């Protein structure tokens, strides 16, 4: 049996906001959204990056596996090296970008630690997956939350987008308030693809999602606040 040390990986948990309600209301529309989610996953998985170690072009599929269960996507790296961290952060951010372009609201958690898998038997388990799940699921926004250890390694590696750190300390919105945590600074990384002027409103953030979830004004308060929190993070990052 492989040792725990051999199974250290970066793990990413991704899910769609409001999916359960959409499935109950309109299964056909929910299926359409899932098809778009898989398209976003596939497009992000094709990305190429430049290795920090060798300066060579690296294909993300050589470093990252991607699996999908219903409205959940799980990504995991082949190891826990610097390049594995880089490819994990790049693909998670690219997947968020592709999803937003296709009007799919997602939230993401990224962890590092022990993770076992068997692709042939579709078996996936480990504390890193549980941590990534909790990081993503508790956040009340569209965004990418990381563990403290992922943040530490990203800062130590000097990962930046222009003059800005890729992973930053911030207040993570949760049910009933906020808590200190760490997040990928995706508004800065994706600044060129954000067409609305800053500051943005929750209604602007919600925009294209109405085709799946209805008018913003008719959302329940718990759903609306996720888009308000997203707008607040974008404004804080870009303002």
Q: Pick from 193, 201, 61, 67: which is nearest to 124 by CA?
A: 67
Q: What are phi and psi of 197, to 5 degrees?
A: -70, 150
Would you state the CATH architecture of domain 5-238?
Answer: 2-Layer Sandwich (3.30)
Which residues in the chain come in under a pLDDT of 70? 1-5, 50-56
| Gap between the Cα atoms of 170 and 184, Å rounded | 10
* Entry pTM: 0.93
Q: Which residues contact 54 (CB under 8 A, 6 or more apart)?
A: none
Q: Which residues of 178-212 are buried (b: 16+ CB within 10 A; e: fewer)?
A: eeebbbbbbbbbbbeebeeeeebebeebbbebeeb
Residue 146: predicted pLDDT: 98
pLDDT for position 53: 55
Residue 86: helix, strand or coil by DSSP?
A: helix
55 in the Ramachandran plot: left (φ > 0), alpha (ψ -120 to 50) or beta? left
Give dist(CA 84, CA 172) in Å, integer.
25
Domain ranges of the chain: 5-238
State the Cα–Cα distance between residues 87 and 74, nearest whole angstrom: 14
Q: What value does the mean pLDDT of the chain take? A: 92
Angle ∠(72,76,78) on CA atoms, nearest 5? 160
CA distances from 190 to 81, 119, 186 (A): 25, 32, 6
């Amino acid at each position: 049996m492989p040792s725990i040390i051999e199974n250290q990986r970066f793990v990413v948990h991704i899910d769609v906001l409001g999916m359960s309600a959409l499935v109950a209301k309109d299964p056909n529309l929910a299926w359409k959204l899932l098809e778009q989610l898989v398209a976003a996953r596939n497009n992000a998985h094709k990305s190429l990056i430049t290795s920090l170690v060798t300066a060579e072009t690296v294909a993300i599929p050589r470093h990252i596996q991607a699996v999908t269960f219903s409205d959940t996507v799980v990504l995991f790296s082949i190891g826990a090296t610097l390049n594995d961290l880089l490819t994990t952060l790049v693909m998670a951010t690219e997947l968020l970008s592709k999803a937003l372009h296709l009007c799919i609201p997602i939230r993401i958690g990224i962890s590092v630690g022990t993770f076992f898998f068997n692709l042939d038997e579709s078996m996936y388990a480990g504390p890193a997956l549980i941590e990534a799940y909790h990081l993503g699921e508790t956040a009340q926004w569209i965004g990418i939350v990381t563990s403290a250890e992922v943040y530490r390694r990203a800062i130590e590696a000097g990962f930046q987008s222009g003059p800005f750190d890729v992973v930053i300390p911030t207040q993570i919105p949760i049910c009933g308030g906020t808590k200190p945590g760490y997040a990928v600074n995706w508004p800065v990384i994706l600044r060129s693809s954000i067409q609305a002027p800053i500051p943005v409103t929750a209604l602007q953030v919600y925009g294209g999602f109405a085709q799946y979830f209805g008018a913003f004004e008719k959302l329940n308060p718990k759903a609306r606040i996720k888009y308000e929190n997203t707008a607040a993070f974008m404004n804080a990052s870009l303002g």
